[in-house]
Amino acid sequence: EIDRRHDTSGRPLSSVFLASREVHAPGAIVSGAFLDHFRGDGFAGYSWDRLGGRSPYFGFRLHYELPEGFVARAFFERRLYRLDTALAENYWGAELFWRF
């Protein structure tokens, strides 16, 4: 017997997930530098999947850049879940880069 799992919408999951999406997402972006070595980006808008699901989306990124090539970033995003657009998801984290 095959064990079948289901997603949050009750549809059966398969080992290879294939989904049809047609997402439209108008929005706005604001970016600017402030203080020494700091830059910020923010965005917001509204997205909807013609095949189901809709939600506002927004996020921000804070960058700290040094002339020696080091970059630190912190970010937060809220948007439609890519596998099931009936749901929204949050992303957050930090990154550290060295450009050479």
* C-alpha separations of 65 from 17, 34, 35, 75, 98 in Å: 39, 12, 11, 15, 10
Share above pLDDT 90 across residues of the chain, in percent, rounded to a whole number? 48
Residue 9: its pLDDT value, please? 77
Name the residue type at position 74. Answer: A
Q: Is the pLDDT of residue 8 over 90?
A: no
Span 35-70, pLDDT tens digits: 989 999 999 999 988 888 888 999 999 999 988 889
* Residue 34 near residue 46 (C-beta atoms within 8 A): no
**Euclidean distance between CA atoms 32 and 18, whole angstroms:** 39
Residue 1: its pLDDT value, please? 46
Which positions ≥6 away from 48 have C-beta within 8 Å?
A: 23, 24, 25, 54, 55
In this structure, of 13-22, 80-89, 90-99, the range with the lowest mean pLDDT score is 13-22
